[in-house]
Amino acid sequence: MRLNLGIFIFNNVEILDFAGPYEVFSSTRLSSKLLNKNNIDEIYNTTSPFNVFTISKDAKPIISSGGLKVSCDYNFKNTPKIDILIIPGGKGTRKLIKDKTVISWIKSKKKYRLINVCMYRIAFISKSRAFRE
């Protein structure tokens, strides 16, 4: 069974905060049989246990804090079920804390595991009350 891992991205997100986890989880392979393989191609031809995708509020391309333009896979209305949600850091979170649509969306995703990439996310998550209800 593959787990759906959604990464919420937004304007002024830190590139490394979303790109690092994206790369790690999308390239993860789980199999003890693979540990003894000498053929790297055989390892990478196996399927990752994670279906990794990006989510933005409206699916419009976002501009990261470094100016990188990134297209999103899904928006709040068409996101598949999320097993793990990553909320990366960046100065864009300061606006998101006041965005009722974003806070409501996070609250609506009550049955997921959360990975926090930046300390400021603690305030963001607390504001959403996603884990207090």
pLDDT at site 78: 95
**pTM, entire model:** 0.78
Alpha carbon of 37 to those of 41, 77, 109: distances in Å? 10, 42, 39
Alpha carbon of 60 to those of 20, 46, 74, 76, 126: distances in Å? 21, 32, 9, 11, 26
Q: What is the pLDDT of residues 22-61, one digit of tens each?
A: 998 888 876 656 556 566 666 666 677 899 999 999 989 9
CATH numbers and ranges of domains, the chain: 3-128 (3.40.50.880)
Phi, psi of 90 (to 5 degrees): 140, 160
36 vs 100 pLDDT, higher one: 100
Q: What percent of the chain has pLDDT over 90?
A: 38
What is d(CA 46, CA 30) in angstroms, rounded to the nearest whole number? 9
